[in-house]
Amino acid sequence: MRIGVLAMQGAYKEHINILRQLGIEAIDLRYKEEFENIEGIIIPGGESTSIGKLIKILDIYDVLKDKVLEGMPILGTCAGMIVLAKKIHNQENTHIATMDIEVIRNGYGRQLGSFNTNESVRYIGENIPMVFIRAPYIKSVGKDVEILSVVDDKIVAAKQDNMLVTSFHPELTNNTNVHEYFVKMIKDRQ
């Protein structure tokens, strides 16, 4: 199994390191052709506007969206969650807009919006360490979306078919549960 981590901007190296730690082959994803040799995609945290622009500049918008619509498993963390959302609160433009969620960017405030906590995530585990950095949260979900975790009345993890998203950064902790669950999603599809 090989997973591609979108390597435009943000915390992609950390995702690659966790996958390799789990014995999974992981590659930087930058070019169209690379989408043909992978079984799963991760969009990391970073800055969603920059990631969204680079996806277009590097001409991978269509292939990325097509793969997700075809059912390839995808994990979006933090900015990656924003890239997948069909609706971004108070913002006109969206990015690949495949997941039926509305997100609020910088939902915890811009400056003091970074904190850590431990909470449970359905299917993934209890006491999962969560690192929030100017994180978005999910304001509302469509009927096909399953809510996996709520922290302080805010939805911070959800799943819709092949799409798994978290507001927090699982790649910035030593806990590998989120990635293990994502690997299971890929295996279940094969």
Residue ranges at the known binding site for L-glutamine = 46-48, 105, 133-134
The one among 29, 43, 60, 79 contacting ligand GLN by CB under 6 A: 79
- The answer to whether residue 15 forms part of the interface with ligand GLN (CB under 6 A) is no
Residues with catalytic annotation?
78, 169, 171
- The answer to whether residue 28 forms part of the interface with ligand GLN (CB under 6 A) is no
- The answer to whether residue 178 forms part of the interface with ligand GLN (CB under 6 A) is no
- The answer to whether residue 95 forms part of the interface with ligand GLN (CB under 6 A) is no
Name the one range near ligand GLN by CB under 6 A: 27-35, 45-53, 92-100, 122-130.
Answer: 45-53
- Tell me whether residue 23 or residue 109 sits nearer to ligand GLN (CB atom): 109
The one among 7, 78, 130, 178 contacting ligand GLN by CB under 6 A: 78
The one among 34, 47, 119, 161 contacting ligand GLN by CB under 6 A: 47
CB 51 to ligand GLN: min, Å: 7
Q: How far apart are CA 102 and CA 139, in angstroms?
A: 6
* SS3 per residue for the chain: CEEEEECCCCCHHHHHHHHHHCCCEEEEECCHHHHHHCCEEEECCCCHHHHHHHHHHCCCHHHHHHHHHHCCCEEEECHHHHHHEEEECCCCCCCCCCEEEEEECCCCCCCCCCEEEEEEECCCEEEEEEEECCCCEEEEECCCCEEEEEECCEEEEEEECCEEEECCCHHHCCCCHHHHHHHHHHHHHC
Residues lying near ligand GLN in the complex (CB under 6 A) are found at 45-48, 78-79, 82, 105-106, 133-136
